[in-house]
Chain A
Amino acid sequence: MAASTRGTVLKKRRLSLAALRESTTAQGLALIAPTALYLLVFMIVPMILVGILSLMTRGPYGNVVYRLNFDNYTRLIDPLYLRILMYSIGVGAATTLITLVIGYPLAYYIARVPARQRNVLLFLILVPFWTNFIIRIYAWIMILRTEGLLNSFLLNLGLIKVPLDILYTPTAVLIGMVYEFLPFMILPLYTSLEKIENAQLEAAADLGARPLASFLRITFPLSLPGITAGSILTFIPAMGMFVVPDLMGGAKTILIGNLVRNQFLTARDWPFGAASSMLLMFLTLAMTLYYTRKVGFSEDLLV
């Protein structure tokens, strides 16, 4: 008995494997399943909790009262919050643009050095970011301070007469933000630049393309997915970042990240905090999906 049943089981298994081999849909589902399940448990379910919370009411002591309430959303329709949102988007966009301008040539450089040096150079980008975040920020504060490293350096060179007031200004915030997000731009750029074969570029050169032309016609378009990934990984967290603006900008502005955080920690109005983050997430998601559809990963746009 055993032999024959095992035979059918094996056959069945082979059949199902064959089916898996045949059906790309099944393969796709099999590959996405771990992520989908993981995020379902640890993201979607908590998100539903936040959604429910956003419809509740704040109690007098900052507790949550289970009474249905849509005011948390109507309160958000307010020019003040719109202004804060626009400002945060501006900070995020500026950070993304500067990291792109600085990161692209560097990623290009790393992708073009001999293969065995690449990983070392890549590691060297990351090592500083394995020290502690707050310690790095404090190091920057020491550099930018009125009596700091940068000012004494410039004064000694005679380049300036009076110390520059950089710390606690928007310039300082940008220096810190760009610093913190640089790896998140460089790594995706590198991964997409690295796969462009020298052969392709040589072929272009053989056909008489000038370096600039071959960059614009071949390298740049082929690196677009890297730009997309890097921009998403930089822009979204940069928009919500508030620790750098607080420490290096002197906490003189409120960004969208502060706003949400304050609702949970200072005003202790969880339902309103939940509502504002639901709205924020919805807006960001819509923007991201639109962006990836428009310039992102879709194959046909890039050939």
Chain B
Amino acid sequence: MKIYRIIAMLAILALLLAACGGGASQPEAKEVNLFAWSEYIPQALLDGFTEKTGIKVNYDTYSSNEEMLAKLQAGASGYDVIIPSDYTVAIMIKQGMLEPLDLAKIPNYKNIGEQFKNLSYDPGNKYSVPYQWGTVGMVYDASKISTPPTSWKDLWLPEYAGRVVLLDDEREVIGMVLLTLGYPKNSTDPAQLEEAKARFAELLPNVRLFDSDSPKTALLAGEVWLGMTWNGEAAIAHSENENIQYLCPVEGCGLWYDNLAIPKGAPHVQAAHEFINYVLDPEASLLITAEFPYSNPNQAALDLLKTKDPAAYEAYMGFPATNPSAADVQNGKRVEDLGDATALWDRIWTEIKGGE
């Protein structure tokens, strides 16, 4: 008897496998599979796209560039549009993981501000167009700190013992330490990195926590007084509590650009182009800015906002987290792929965190 049950079970298993394999070869034309950060694309935008084109959007999420990269690198397929950040775009281009864009099919590309086109990680925007951008700067609680910090070096001040929050991101944090020593943010020089390691170790007593997901929470809860966050985090915290301030220290903020791109082997390349074009539409783009307070590279959208809702425009332009000054952008430092030096950086991070 038992034998039959086993056979039955194997049959079920085979059926299951067949069921998942079955649909593989017949992609439906009327859908587009979006793979992006969560809380990054408003539902209203997706609904608007479906209404206009009749194409259904499946929205799946990841929570870091590296997660997305690992998944695609391991062979996951079926996605049509992804949103990688600058250095990830560079890696993906070098590994041939992106489908070239046909800019003729994306007429709304003209809406993008000139300073956001043709950036070094993707010259000529062959593979990607900007979606949102922003900075990684310093945030502080003005009710707890009387003299505003000006330099990343202020994080080391003894009076901030146990009061600092840092991103749990080795590239931003070690990069910041390198900057305070006057070295390049993406240094691959072992001697400079060794020095940065010692300096980083001195900062540890001040660090209450590392948090990349929601550093604002510890700040709003009064757990920490200052630290390093994404601009959007600071903007949300500021709207919640006016004492939360954001600035770019003298050594320079971090600078990032998130981009729309199509992964190699996407089943619905045409629909993906239509989707990207729709996102760059000024009206659609404003939906993003209204809901997620990062910086918007869409010049046409900002112009539209100015006439449509002057108050919102003022708020956007007036706060350094959403609208950093030209000098801050000029002074901003991007994360770049380190190639083989990645191991060295990771080693330092491991040594510091896994220390005595």
Asked if B3 is at the interface of the complex by the 8 Å CB criterion, the answer is yes
Beta-carbon contact of A27 and B339 below 8 Å = no
Beta-carbon contact of B354 and A251 below 8 Å = no
Beta-carbon contact of A63 and B95 below 8 Å = yes
Beta-carbon contact of B350 and A262 below 8 Å = yes
CA distance A63 to B350 in the complex (A): 21
Asked if A211 is at the interface of the complex by the 8 Å CB criterion, the answer is no
Contact of B66 among A148, A167, A266 (CB under 8 A): A266
A264, closest chain B residue (CB): B70
CB distance from B171 to the nearest CB of A (A): 8
Known contacts A147-B222, A265-B66; decide if A254 and B354 are in contact (CB<8 Å).
yes
Beta-carbon contact of B223 and A145 below 8 Å = yes
Q: Report chain B residues within 8 Å CB of A262.
A: 346, 349-350
Asked if B117 is at the interface of the complex by the 8 Å CB criterion, the answer is no
Asked if B154 is at the interface of the complex by the 8 Å CB criterion, the answer is no
B192-219: CB near A (< 8 Å → 1, else 0) gives 0000000000001001111100000100
Beta-carbon contact of B222 and A146 below 8 Å = yes
B92, closest chain A residue (CB): A61
CB distance from B13 to the nearest CB of A (A): 7
CA distance A30 to B207 in the complex (A): 57
Beta-carbon contact of A147 and B13 below 8 Å = no
CB distance from A73 to the nearest CB of B (A): 15
CA distance A37 to B6 in the complex (A): 10
Q: Report chain B residues within 8 Å CB of A60.
A: 339-340
CB distance from A169 to the nearest CB of B (A): 10
Beta-carbon contact of B337 and A251 below 8 Å = no
Asked if B39 is at the interface of the complex by the 8 Å CB criterion, the answer is no
Q: Report chain A residues within 8 Å CB of B351.
A: 80
CA distance A34 to B342 in the complex (A): 43
Beta-carbon contact of B6 and A251 below 8 Å = no
Asked if A162 is at the interface of the complex by the 8 Å CB criterion, the answer is no
Beta-carbon contact of B6 and A30 below 8 Å = yes
A165, closest chain B residue (CB): B162
Asked if A130 is at the interface of the complex by the 8 Å CB criterion, the answer is no
Residues of chain B from 313 to 356 with CB closer than 8 A to chain A in the complex: 337, 339-340, 342-343, 345-346, 349-351, 353-354
Beta-carbon contact of B337 and A61 below 8 Å = yes
Q: Report chain A residues within 8 Å CB of B340.
A: 58, 60
CA distance A141 to B343 in the complex (A): 33
Asked if A20 is at the interface of the complex by the 8 Å CB criterion, the answer is yes
Q: Report chain A residues within 8 Å CB of B343.
A: 58, 267, 269, 272
Asked if B221 is at the interface of the complex by the 8 Å CB criterion, the answer is yes
B165-201: CB near A (< 8 Å → 1, else 0) gives 0001010000000000000000000000000000000
Q: Report chain A residues within 8 Å CB of B221.
A: 145-148
Residues of chain B from 1 to 29 with CB closer than 8 A to chain A in the complex: 1-3, 6, 9-10, 13
Beta-carbon contact of A168 and B350 below 8 Å = no
A168, closest chain B residue (CB): B209
Q: How many A-B residue pairs have CB under 8 A?
A: 102
Asked if B64 is at the interface of the complex by the 8 Å CB criterion, the answer is yes
Contact of A62 among B64, B222, B342 (CB under 8 A): B342
Contact of B2 among A27, A148, A253, A265 (CB under 8 A): A27
Known contacts A27-B2, A60-B340; decide if A250 and B353 are in contact (CB<8 Å).
no
Name the residue in A30, A83, A250, A268 with the highest tally of chain B Cβ atoms < 10 Å from its Cβ: A250
Q: Report chain A residues within 8 Å CB of B9.
A: 34
Asked if B45 is at the interface of the complex by the 8 Å CB criterion, the answer is no
- The tally of residues in A whose CB lies under 8 Å from a CB in B reads 44
CB distance from B33 to the nearest CB of A (A): 22
Asked if A107 is at the interface of the complex by the 8 Å CB criterion, the answer is no
Q: Report chain A residues within 8 Å CB of B207.
A: 250, 252
Residues of chain A from 253 to 287 with CB closer than 8 A to chain B in the complex: 253-254, 258-259, 262-269, 272
Asked if B69 is at the interface of the complex by the 8 Å CB criterion, the answer is yes
Beta-carbon contact of A268 and B353 below 8 Å = no
Beta-carbon contact of A250 and B342 below 8 Å = no
Known contacts A246-B168, A265-B64, A269-B343; decide if A253 and B6 are in contact (CB<8 Å).
no
CA distance A31 to B2 in the complex (A): 7
Residues of chain A from 129 to 148 with CB closer than 8 A to chain B in the complex: 141, 145-148
Beta-carbon contact of B346 and A250 below 8 Å = no
Asked if A9 is at the interface of the complex by the 8 Å CB criterion, the answer is no
Contact of B354 among A30, A34, A80 (CB under 8 A): A80
CA distance A62 to B345 in the complex (A): 14
Contact of A253 among B69, B70, B94, B354 (CB under 8 A): B354
Q: Report chain B residues within 8 Å CB of A179.
A: none
Asked if B67 is at the interface of the complex by the 8 Å CB criterion, the answer is yes
Asked if B91 is at the interface of the complex by the 8 Å CB criterion, the answer is yes
CA distance A266 to B64 in the complex (A): 10
Asked if A87 is at the interface of the complex by the 8 Å CB criterion, the answer is yes
CA distance A148 to B64 in the complex (A): 30
Known contacts A30-B6, A87-B354, A250-B210; decide if A265 and B346 are in contact (CB<8 Å).
no
CA distance A33 to B4 in the complex (A): 12
Contact of B209 among A17, A31, A250, A264 (CB under 8 A): A250
Beta-carbon contact of B210 and A167 below 8 Å = no
CA distance A246 to B353 in the complex (A): 11
A262, closest chain B residue (CB): B346
Beta-carbon contact of B350 and A252 below 8 Å = no
Q: Report chain B residues within 8 Å CB of A83.
A: 354
* 7 extra A-B contacts, CB within 8 A, seeds A38-B13, A267-B345, A268-B342: A30-B2, A31-B2, A60-B340, A168-B208, A250-B211, A252-B353, A259-B354
- Which positions in B face A, CB cutoff 8 Å? 1-3, 6, 9-10, 13, 64, 66-67, 69-70, 73, 91, 94-95, 162, 168, 170, 204, 207-211, 217, 221-223, 337, 339-340, 342-343, 345-346, 349-351, 353-354
- What 5 A-B pairs have minimum CB-CB distances, sorted nearest first? A250-B209, A267-B346, A251-B210, A254-B354, A254-B353
Listed A/B pairs (6) with beta-carbon separation below 8 Å:
A30-B6, A146-B221, A165-B162, A251-B210, A251-B353, A267-B342
